[in-house]
Every structure is written in C-alpha cells, then in structure tokens.
C-alpha cells in the first residue's frame, strides 16, 4: 500500500506541474506569430472574451504606421461586418514596379447582433491577408476590444525591451528575413491555414501524449508493486 500511495502522490504532482506549464493567454493575439519579409501572410486576429457577463461586440485593429502594407484583404466572418479605413502615404511605396500612395490604416469588425458577439468563455478569429510584408523585424497591431456594456480594453502596449510581457500587450507579428523564412517550420509558413490551428493542435497532442505516457508508467509501477507482494502459487 505504501508504494501504491507513493505512485499516487507522484501522479498528482506531475499532473499539477503539467497544468501549470500550459500557458493561459487571454489577450488578443495574431496567429501565426511569424511570417516572412517581402511575402504575403494569411493571419488571424484571435480575440478571447475576458468578461464573465458581457459580450465582445467590436474589434478595432490599427495597422502600424511605420510599416505600411499595400494589400490588405479580409475574410468574411459570419455575423460580423468589417469597415476598412485608409490613409495617404507621405512617401509612396513601390510594389511590383508600381507606386502605392494609399494603404489600409484600420480594420473594424462589428457584431451584427447579440447572437454573433463573442460570449464569455469563447473566442473569435478575424482572418486577414497581408502583403507584401515590409522589411522590418516586427509589426505591432494596436487593438481596441469593445464589450456590450461599453467597456473598452486597449491592447496597445508594444513589446518590452527586456522581454517581459507588458500589462496590455498589442498583437505582434514577427517578420523573418527571406533567407531565414525559407527554412521556417510549418508554424511560420505563410501557407498555413488561418489561425494556426495545426500548430495549436500539435501542441495539445504533445501535452496529451506526455500525460498518457506518465500515467502508463505510473500504472505499470503499481502493477509491479502488487505482483511482488503476491505470494507464489
């Protein structure tokens, strides 16, 4: 019995550590988190609802002014309407040999009805195609999240220089040089499906496999302990 209890304690401890190790992210993010400079990326702004009793009814995403993108298109989201605002560039950018002097500045998604709003405990993804991506190391998308009671959460803080996560982090898309991007993993491939669902699923499968393996090891130990205690027949 003592050995069995020890294995039980180990199992509870291991599972507790795994639960702590799985990060819980509740802020607005862009997925996948990496793309290649000069290419086109299909990404999604992932918006979770942090409220216990109100719905998310509007999302405003501001494209960085210091990293203009010539082509910005959206994918329809059922139950939501998107408004596109543009701005004039002081210095046009050249795309495929042609100058572009006007680019998208803001994307605003609004729920058409309470049924379409993001409910507590849920999240919604808003897909966007961007390109050609500028030759900068990152794009910071300041975002405003509006709730049905009028509250507005401002996800506008840029990444900290020391690597610490700010209080209200803005979604960040890291841009890799073309040479590095050619060797990128599937999670950073621009052809990946919207929302990086493949990468997310793989992570969870890995965690589930680890848990299953640990439980199997624990059960084998318990069986071995019982076998040693049984008298020979």
pLDDT tens profile 189-233: 333 333 333 333 434 445 455 565 666 556 656 555 555 555 544
Q: Environment class of residue 45 by beta-carbon count within 10 Å: exposed (0-12), middle (13-18) or buried (19+)?
A: buried
pLDDT at residue 199 in the model:
39
Is there a domain that residue 4 lies in?
no
Q: What is the mean pLDDT of residues 125-143?
A: 97
Q: What is the mean pLDDT of residues 154-160?
A: 94
Beta strands in the chain (DSSP E): 29-31, 34-36, 41-48, 56-62, 71-74, 80-95, 98-111, 123-131, 138-140, 142-147, 152-155, 172-176
Is there a domain that residue 160 lies in?
yes
Q: Give 65 or 227, the one with higher predicted confidence.
A: 65
Q: Identify the three-state secondary structure at position 63.
A: coil
Q: C-alpha distances in angstroms, 2 versus 7, 135, 147, 228?
A: 9, 62, 54, 13
CATH number at residue 71: 2.60.40.2230
pLDDT at residue 164 in the model:
81
Tokens of 183: 């060797």
Is there a domain that residue 228 lies in?
no
Give this prediction's pTM: 0.68
Q: Would you say residue 59 has pLDDT above 80?
A: yes
Residues 37/226, Cβ–Cβ less than 8 Å: no
Q: Could you count the other beta carbons within 10 Å of the beta carbon of residue 169? A: 19
Tell me how long the chain is. 233
- Residue 202 CB partners (closer than 8 Å, separation 6+): none
Mean pLDDT of the chain: 79
Q: Would you say residue 116 has pLDDT above 70?
A: yes
> Which of the four pLDDT bands, split at 50, 70 and 90, describes residue 32?
very high
Is there a domain that residue 81 lies in?
yes
Is there a domain that residue 38 lies in?
yes
pLDDT at residue 19 in the model:
38
> In the chain, what percentage of residues exceed pLDDT 70?
66
Is there a domain that residue 87 lies in?
yes
> Which of the four pLDDT bands, split at 50, 70 and 90, describes residue 60?
very high
Is there a domain that residue 217 lies in?
no
Per the structure, how many domains does the chain have?
1
pLDDT at residue 140 in the model:
97
Nearest by Cα to 73 from 27, 39, 41: 41
Q: Identify the three-state secondary structure at position 43.
A: strand
Q: Would you say residue 115 has pLDDT above 80?
A: yes
pLDDT at residue 68 in the model:
96
pLDDT at residue 163 in the model:
76
Is there a domain that residue 226 lies in?
no
Biggest CA–CA distance in the chain, Å, is 91
Q: Which domain covers residue 106, as residue numbers?
A: 26-196
Nearest by Cα to 43 from 189, 166, 233, 226: 189
């Amino acid at each position: 019995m003592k050995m069995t209890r020890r294995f039980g304690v180990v199992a509870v401890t291991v599972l507790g550590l795994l639960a702590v190790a799985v990060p819980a992210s509740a802020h607005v993010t862009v997925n996948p988190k990496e793309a290649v400079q000069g290419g086109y990326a299909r990404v999604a702004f992932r918006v979770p609802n942090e409220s216990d009793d109100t719905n998310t009814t509007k999302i405003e995403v501001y494209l960085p002014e210091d990293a203009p993108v010539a082509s910005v298109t959206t994918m329809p989201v059922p139950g939501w309407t998107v408004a596109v605002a543009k701005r004039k560039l002081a210095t046009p950018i050249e795309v495929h040999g042609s100058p572009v002097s006007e680019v998208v500045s803001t994307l605003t998604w609004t729920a058409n009805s309470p049924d379409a709003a993001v409910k507590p405990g849920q999240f919604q993804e808003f897909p966007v195609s961007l390109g050609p991506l500028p030759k900068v190391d990152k794009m910071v998308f300041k975002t405003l999240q509006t709730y049905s009671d009028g509250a507005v959460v401002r996800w506008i803080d840029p990444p900290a220089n020391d690597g610490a996560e700010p209080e209200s982090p803005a979604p960040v898309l890291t841009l890799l040089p073309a040479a590095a991007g050619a060797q990128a993993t599937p999670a950073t491939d621009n052809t990946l499906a919207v929302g990086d669902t493949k990468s997310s699923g793989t992570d969870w499968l890995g965690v589930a496999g680890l848990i299953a393996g640990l439980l199997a090891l624990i059960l084998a130990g318990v069986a071995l302990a019982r076998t040693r205690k049984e008298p020979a027949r």
